[in-house]
Amino acid sequence: MNQNLKSKMLLFLKKLITIAFLLFVFTFVEIYWSMQSLSERISNGNPDSHFFDDAYLISVFTTVFLIIIFMFLAFIKKIHLKITAQLLIIISTWFFWNYSIFVDRESSWSTYLFKEELMYTLTLSFFPILVLSIVMVFILNYISKNRSITNEKIKTINI
């Protein structure tokens, strides 16, 4: 295998692992930050399940899902469109999971209307999602930009 191809593959894997790790950590932190008031409540779906288990599993699923989506978004050349798409996808994914946790741990034990569920979830989630999604997208684009600069340096060294 050619040395240039090996270095490109290694850089791609490093980038993928770094982004996956960041997505996992940011998702886990977001769930705990926004839904911490529900962490002591019993899950309706699985009463033996702890909040940590739910947050961990959701973070794993979200990491796999978002890595696949972001790999496709990497082909978008217009940076403003790419950032907007990343923000919308992260915000909607995290809000969906927060809503699911709220329904599982709070709403299913009470009588909430759908609109009340959404508003309560939005109240709990707005600030954590806003802060963490902006930071996450900034870091993602910094890593992408930084890695492409590193690739250019490698190309110039090999020439």
Contact 38, 103 (CB under 8 A): no
Helix (H) / strand (E) containing 93: helix 79-105
**Residue 95 to residue 99: CA distance in whole angstroms:** 6
Strands (E), 4-151: none
What are the pLDDT digits (tens) for 142-155? Answer: 988 775 544 455 45
Radius of gyration of the chain (CA): 19
Place 38 in a pLDDT band, splitting at 50, 70 and 90: confident
pLDDT of residue 154: 47
Judged by average pLDDT, the poorest of 21-30, 107-116, 129-138 is: 107-116
pLDDT of residue 49: 82
Contact 158, 11 (CB under 8 A): no
Judged by average pLDDT, the poorest of 10-14, 28-32, 107-111 is: 107-111
Sorted by sequence, the CB contacts under 8 Å of residue 146 that are 6+ apart come out as none
